[in-house]
Amino acid sequence: MDYIVIIVLQLAVTVANLALIAAGLAIVFGMMRVINFAHGEFLMLGGYAAIVSHRAGVNLWIAMFVVAPLVVGAVGAVLERLVIRRLYGRMIDTMLATWGISLALIGLVTVVFGNTVSGISPPLGSLEVGRYAIGRYELLLAVVCAALYGGGWLLLRRTSFGLIARGTMQNRTMAAALGVDPGRVYAVTFAAGAAVTGLAGALIAPIAGVVPTIGAAYIAKAFITVISGGAAIIAGTLSSATLLGSINTAFAFAFSPVLGEVALLAAAVILLRLLPQGITGRFFRKSL
């Protein structure tokens, strides 16, 4: 019984992790078709922003929920202005330029902060389930993740900004004809995607630690999750995170963590062969 409870909790944590690291990418790729190869480094920056500001005396929660998204959102806005804006519609060039940004950010953070930054321990202690225990902080991540996706859904569905954003992504010319400035919508969307990524990076920093090269551990997983999800960013990313996360956890428990990772990747390949447009190309087509 305890074992089942702990497996379910572990599953929720794994899925939430996957959905968190993929959220910002879902925004910039799903809405703008920008392949942001610097996504992993945005996560890394979020972690650094939270930890460095916490070391400088900022309250941990403020550092994670306010400072990190602001800093990374601002970095995203600047990069959008300087680089991405010039490359809209050129998917491959954007990919390449963001790859360059990714390397530059790794280098810059290494030069400025070094590679040895002491981390923060996860707060909140642990939850005991019989002989098992799981970090309360990790469970909190699952809650935050749910709130983030819920908020995103409300924003896109219920606010006029959401309507304008969706409209601009679907038909830029028409939106412009109706008086919307598409450039501004893109800029805001990219910055918002960066901010969400920064938040995610800050949230995973206490359990994963921060090093300049940590982005590489997440980038492939985030991409595979978003692309397997398909066109509907919220339903798609959530459903693929759930599917891939479950497969990963099942194999990790039954065999080894490595086979868990391999199974995740293999599942994505098979999924894309069966559903070339991702999960939401076939299911939940009307959703967001």
Report 2-41 residues binding another protein (CB under 8 A). 3, 6-7, 10, 13-14, 17, 35, 37
By CB under 8 A, tell whether 219 contacts another protein: yes
What is d(CA 193, CA 13) in angstroms, rounded to the nearest whole number?
A: 22
User: By CB under 8 A, what part of segment 266-285 binds another protein?
Assistant: 266, 268-269, 272-273, 276-278
Least Å distance, CB 179 to another protein, is 29
List 57, 89, 179, 286, residue binding another protein (CB under 8 A): 89
Taking the alpha carbons at both ends of the chain, their separation in whole angstroms is 36
By CB under 8 A, tell whether 208 contacts another protein: yes
Question: Which residue in 246, 224, 250 sits closest to 237, CA to CA?
Answer: 224
Least Å distance, CB 162 to another protein, is 25
Least Å distance, CB 68 to another protein, is 18
C-alpha distances in Å from residue 151, one per residue of 128, 158, 185, 228, 284: 30, 10, 19, 22, 19
List 142, 202, 227, 232, residue binding another protein (CB under 8 A): 227
Query: How many CB atoms neighbour CB 69 within 10 A?
Result: 26
Q: Spell out, one character per residue from 59 to 78, where the chain touches another protein: x when CB under 8 A holds, - when not.
A: --------------------
Least Å distance, CB 154 to another protein, is 29
List 62, 78, 163, 216, residue binding another protein (CB under 8 A): 216
List 59, 61, 100, 157, residue binding another protein (CB under 8 A): 100
Select 164 or 236, whichever has its Cβ closest to another protein: 236
Select 10 or 287, whichever has its Cβ closest to another protein: 10
By CB under 8 A, tell whether 90 contacts another protein: yes
- Surface-to-core class of residue 201, CB atoms within 10 Å of its CB (0-12 exposed, 13-18 middle, 19+ buried): buried
b/e per residue 224-235 (b: at least 16 CB within 10 A): bbbbbbbbbbbb
List 209, 283, 284, 287, residue binding another protein (CB under 8 A): 209
Least Å distance, CB 280 to another protein, is 13
- Surface-to-core class of residue 147, CB atoms within 10 Å of its CB (0-12 exposed, 13-18 middle, 19+ buried): exposed
By CB under 8 A, tell whether 154 contacts another protein: no
Question: Which residue in 205, 202, 219 sits closest to 69, CA to CA?
Answer: 202
Contact 236, 280 (CB under 8 A): yes
Residues with Cβ < 8 Å from 148, sequence gap 6 or more? 20, 23, 196, 199
Residue 14 CB-half CA count within 13 A: 24
Q: Spell out, one character per residue from 101 to 130, where the chain touches another protein: x when CB under 8 A holds, - when not.
A: xxxxxxxx-xx---xxxxxxxx--xx-x--
With CB under 8 A, what is the number of residues at the site for another protein?
83
Residues linked to residue 135 through DSSP beta bridges, in sequence order = 126
